[in-house]
């Protein structure tokens, strides 16, 4: 019997809807977009193959008609949908509620050409109530304006990429790509790196007094000397010069600062000359948009924007919440709106009263959406049921899903809670030196009088200093006239236990993280909720940007591309111009702008602009090869430059591309870290040839330590001529060795890898080797990490078989236990052993509960128990305020839950 055919994008979403709708409906998935512009020459339709614009798939000579094809990997899904349509009484298009979803529905109509009735339904959460309501409010037509806006974006991106990318192939490197949004994002990252390159640090000193009162230590910093403010980091410009307004005291050296410090100490006791308490309130942040969710997940969990969206997609489209029940746990996750529906506001308010009490609720809060022309969805990201707490889903959701749901739930709940009431305390202490100089110290504290929304959620920050500022710091009760006495006056009310001179250096602008880049793109009006994650992922995948920790570091190729585009096609990587295009696309989606006029003006020009096609033709051969100047070689007087070659960036002395000494650049070297001295050292090392470590006694071949694109490595034998098929044995130095410390014996051990231990029952070899995550054994496609007691150089075949027979662990569990660098003994308070371990991101100290990274420059073997206690105490305090401290065990995975119930 015919029944309605419901079409959604993903099979997971299809399963969820099928559970709600039952056997009266048939639910199928399109598996995303079913048509697109041709990606390769083989995909180009026959009728346009001979056209000059055929490869574009867009008729640039006429009315910019797009020619769509069904990609090879989508044909089987289209065939299945056509088969399902034969038994359908009607077609219900249930794709996502945004431009992309509307476009998919339109393309499905064009391909399937159903002869039965077609209806479009829209819903912003996947719950039974929402689906039933969407069916009741179904409409017959897709939104043509949204479809035209999406189609215009696709045509625009195709014209941009296919017109500018060939310029990059000719002038920089084959295979590079330009993109309307990606090239602007790369420009932002490159220009931040340029700011770092131009930055000159400044040194300044201040004085910090550690004071003790009411059995509590607190810090006070010197802020004025004889009425003039002491210069701090914010008073210096990027050239290291003082730029602050008014008269400033710049303490330039330790000697100068020590003299002032000693004079002030001789003037003890000091006097409390001001003590102020000011109440203030702090409002909760609005519920998440796509952008703010990506930012906070990056700050708090280190998630990439892409990973965040993948997890959010699973939470939206349907998760097994037990007993085979599939239900969407969050509302639609591609949105730039901060509003909540009346129903959601009422549910959130009730949840706040039930969980936190009436004092924590002051009525519903609505937030003004700040993004220009917000249009992607009607609501912010929120739980579909506020009464479903994260604790209820422990053991049901996977780790990533639970962490993200917890974040979304807390942020949405907090947005409806009462403001936090705080009390800021500022104390001013005045001392006078024998020379007559007056020094004023200030100490600040902050107390939480009523936690309000902070009971549920604390927002993350891109600025570590700002995070520290958010900590609650309580000052003792001090009154004007109280005296601060010398350290030997132990019975006094207030004692200066320590007064230190402290040196500081100004820091260059921080590199973008994924969080701060997404924030900047949104602020500039570049991209939309559906494009942030793909943009950030694309620029990394294509080698324009790499990650160092959370920081996004541009490659030298990114520099060359950005400089070429900025110099010759400035409008097309201009922030304002790109944002204007986004606004026009929004106008098209609202029916306020004709799409064809817009595309025609962009490509062919309109009198004010040349148009991209004309500009590329005019520039032609006039575009110079982009080079990055490093400095001048002092010996030859010739320029030292970075060029981009077939195999990546390299250094060269001289103006000619064919002549002059060359040297490869390590892939992990950031452009801002390449100094003239470092460049000359790399060129010198290349000219001198590889360093010989000695001869291999087995083969009689020389062993060299060398440097290449991917860092330092050792090589057995001579480097063959280019084009030779023979390749010498090589091994990376990894983290354990450097070019200066490696010995012949070390090199021979590295070159012995991979070790063939024997063969498995299937005849395939079993190998032991070192990898990105440490030592491992391999049999076919099976890998197992070695345990801490195993040695990759001595492990036996029998032991390897034991490891391979064990169940495969998650990557998180597979990592080898960190190596102990120093044991400090039992913690004086807890009695737990305190150790220094070598972690993935450097050495850290731990007491088994709290981990704290060692400050840069502090050697692990020099760490004392007292220093370890300070680091652990500071880290524990940050974790409590930042919401990162975790108690108890992690939620078990679904698989573990299933095993437990079996």
| DSSP 3-state of 720 | coil
Q: Is 347 exposed, middle or buried (0-12, 13-18, 19+ CB in 10 A)?
A: buried
DSSP secondary structure, 62-109, as one string: TT--B--B--GGGHHHHHHHHHHHTTEEEEEE---SSHHHHHHHHHHH
Beta-carbon contacts of residue 386 (< 8 Å; ≥ 6 apart): 344, 347, 348, 350, 351, 409, 412, 413
The CA-based angle 652-653-655, given to 5 degrees, is 100
What's the CA gap between 192 and 552, in Å, rounded? Answer: 10
Question: Which DSSP symbol is given to 396?
Answer: T
Closest alpha carbon to 61 in 206, 166, 159: 159
Which residues sit opposite 784 in a β-bridge?
Answer: 777
814: number of Cβ within 10 Å: 15
What's the CA gap between 225 and 227, in Å, rounded? Answer: 5
For tokens 């850290």, the residue is: 844
How far out from the chain centre does Cα 37 lie?
30
- Of all helices (H) and strands (E), which one includes residue 119? strand 117-120
What's the CA gap between 429 and 444, in Å, rounded? Answer: 11
**270, 440 in Cβ contact below 8 A?**
no
Distances (CA, A) of 461 to 299, 312, 466, 519: 7, 21, 7, 11
Beta-carbon contacts of residue 14 (< 8 Å; ≥ 6 apart): 6, 8, 27, 28, 29
For tokens 């098209």, the residue is: 588
Closest alpha carbon to 766 in 791, 803, 730, 734: 803
Helix axes 75-85, 99-112, angle to 10 degrees: 70
Q: Does 332 qualify as catalytic in the annotation?
A: yes
Distances (CA, A) of 387 to 55, 340, 346, 352: 54, 16, 12, 9
Q: Is the peptide bond before 269 cis (omega within 30 degrees of 0)?
A: yes
Marked catalytic residue, from 332, 405, 713, 844: 332
What's the CA gap between 24 and 5, in Å, rounded? Answer: 10
**452, 416 in Cβ contact below 8 A?**
no
What's the CA gap between 462 and 116, in Å, rounded? Answer: 53
What's the CA gap between 55 and 39, in Å, rounded? Answer: 9
How far out from the chain centre does Cα 879 lie?
20
Beta-carbon contacts of residue 181 (< 8 Å; ≥ 6 apart): 521, 526, 527, 531, 535, 578
Backbone torsions φ then ψ of 177, nearest 5 degrees: -135, 150
What's the CA gap between 877 and 863, in Å, rounded? Answer: 20
What's the CA gap between 125 and 823, in Å, rounded? Answer: 53
Which amino acids are annotated catalytic?
332
């Amino acid at each position: 019997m015919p029944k309605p055919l419901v079409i959604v994008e993903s099979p997971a979403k299809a399963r969820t809807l099928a559970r709600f709708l039952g056997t009266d409906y048939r639910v199928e998935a399109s598996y995303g977009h079913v048509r697109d512009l041709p990606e390769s020459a083989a995909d180009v339709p026959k009728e346009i193959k001979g056209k000059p614009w055929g490869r574009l798939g867009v008729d640039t000579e006429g009315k910019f008609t797009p020619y769509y094809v069904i990609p090879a990997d989508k044909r089987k899904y289209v065939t299945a949908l056509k088969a399902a349509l034969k038994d359908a009484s009607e077609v219900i298009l249930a794709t996502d509620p945004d431009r992309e979803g509307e476009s998919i529905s339109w393309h499905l109509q064009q391909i399937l050409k159903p002869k039965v009735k077609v209806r479009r339904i829209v819903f912003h959460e996947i719950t039974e109530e929402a689906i039933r309501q969407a069916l009741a409010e179904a409409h017959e037509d897709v939104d043509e304006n949204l479809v035209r806006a999406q189609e215009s974006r696709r045509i625009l991106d195709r014209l941009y990429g296919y017109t500018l990318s060939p310029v990059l192939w000719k002038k920089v490197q084959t295979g590079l790509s330009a993109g309307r949004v990606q090239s602007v994002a790369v420009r932002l990252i490159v220009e931040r790196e340029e700011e770092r390159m131009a930055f000159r640090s400044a040194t300044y000193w201040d004085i910090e007094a550690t004071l003790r009162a009411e059995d509590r230590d607190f810090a006070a910093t010197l802020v004025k000397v004889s009425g003039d403010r002491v210069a701090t980091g914010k008073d210096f410009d990027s050239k290291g010069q003082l730029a602050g307004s008014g008269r400033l005291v710049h303490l330039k050296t330790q000697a100068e600062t020590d003299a002032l410090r000693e004079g002030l100490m001789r003037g003890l006791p000091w006097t409390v000359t001001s003590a102020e308490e000011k109440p203030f309130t702090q409002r909760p942040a609005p519920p998440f948009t796509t952008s703010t969710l990506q930012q906070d997940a990056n700050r708090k969990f280190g998630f990439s924007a892409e990973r965040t969206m993948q997890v959010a997609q699973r939470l939206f489209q349907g998760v097994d919440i037990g007993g085979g029940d599939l239900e969407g746990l969050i509302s639609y996750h591609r949105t730039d709106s901060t509003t909540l529906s009346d129903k959601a506001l009422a549910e959130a308010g009730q949840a706040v009263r039930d969980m936190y009490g009436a004092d924590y609720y002051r009525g519903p809060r609505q937030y003004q959406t700040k993004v220009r022309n917000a249009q992607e969805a009607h609501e912010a990201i929120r739980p579909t049921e506020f009464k479903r707490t994260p604790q209820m889903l422990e053991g049901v959701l996977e780790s990533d899903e639970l962490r993200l749901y917890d974040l979304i739930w807390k942020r949405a709940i907090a947005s409806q809670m009462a403001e936090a009431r705080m009390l800021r305390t500022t104390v001013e202490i005045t001392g006078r030196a024998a020379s007559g100089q007056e020094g004023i110290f200030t100490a600040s504290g902050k107390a939480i009088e009523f936690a309000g929304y902070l009971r549920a959620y604390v927002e993350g920050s891109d600025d570590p200093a700002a995070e520290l500022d958010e900590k609650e710091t309580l000052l003792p009760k001090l009154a004007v006239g109280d005296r601060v006495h010398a350290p030997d006056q132990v019975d006094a009310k207030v004692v200066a236990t320590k007064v230190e001179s402290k040196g500081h250096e100004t820091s260059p602008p921080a590199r973008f993280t994924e969080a701060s880049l997404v924030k900047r793109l949104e602020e500039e009006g570049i991209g939309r909720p559906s494009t942030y994650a793909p943009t950030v992922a694309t620029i990394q995948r294509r080698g324009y940007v790499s990650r160092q920790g959370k920081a996004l570091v541009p490659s030298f190729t990114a520099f060359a591309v950005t400089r070429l585009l900025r110099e010759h096609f400035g409008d097309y990587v201009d922030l304002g111009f790109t944002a204007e295009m986004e606004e026009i696309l929004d106008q098209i989606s609202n029916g306020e702008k004709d799409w064809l006029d817009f595309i025609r003006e962009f490509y062919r020009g309109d009198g004010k602009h040349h148009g991209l096609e004309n500009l590329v033709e005019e520039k032609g051969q006039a575009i110079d090869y982009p080079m990055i100047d490093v400095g001048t070689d002092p010996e030859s007087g010739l320029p030292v430059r970075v060029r981009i070659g077939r195999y990546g960036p390299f250094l060269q002395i001289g103006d000619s591309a064919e002549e002059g000494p060359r040297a490869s650049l390590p892939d992990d070297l950031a452009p801002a870290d390449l100094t003239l001295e470092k460049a000359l050292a790399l060129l010198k090392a290349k000219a001198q040839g590889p360093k010989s470590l000695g001869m291999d006694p087995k083969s009689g071949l020389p062993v060299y330590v060398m440097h290449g694109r991917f860092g330092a490595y050792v090589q057995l034998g001579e480097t063959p001529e280019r084009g030779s098929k023979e390749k010498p044995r090589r091994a990376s130095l990894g983290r354990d060795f450097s070019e200066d410390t490696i010995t012949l014996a070390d090199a021979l051990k590295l070159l012995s890898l991979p070790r063939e231990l024997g063969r498995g029952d299937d005849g395939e070899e079993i190998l032991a080797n070192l990898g990105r995550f440490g030592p491992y054994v391999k049999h076919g496609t099976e890998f197992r990490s070695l345990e801490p007691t195993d040695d990759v150089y001595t492990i036996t075949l029998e032991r390897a078989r034991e490891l391979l027979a064990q169940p495969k662990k998650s990557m998180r569990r597979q990592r080898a236990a960190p190596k102990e660098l120093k044991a400090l003994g039992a913690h004086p308070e807890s009695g737990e052993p305190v150790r220094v371990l070598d972690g993935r991101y450097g050495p850290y100290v731990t007491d088994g509960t709290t981990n704290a990274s060692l400050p840069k420059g502090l050697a692990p073997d020099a760490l004392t128990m007292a220093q370890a206690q300070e680091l652990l105490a500071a880290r524990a305090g940050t974790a409590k305020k930042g919401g990162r401290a975790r108690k108890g065990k992690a939620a078990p995975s679904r698989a573990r839950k299933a095993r437990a119930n079996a």
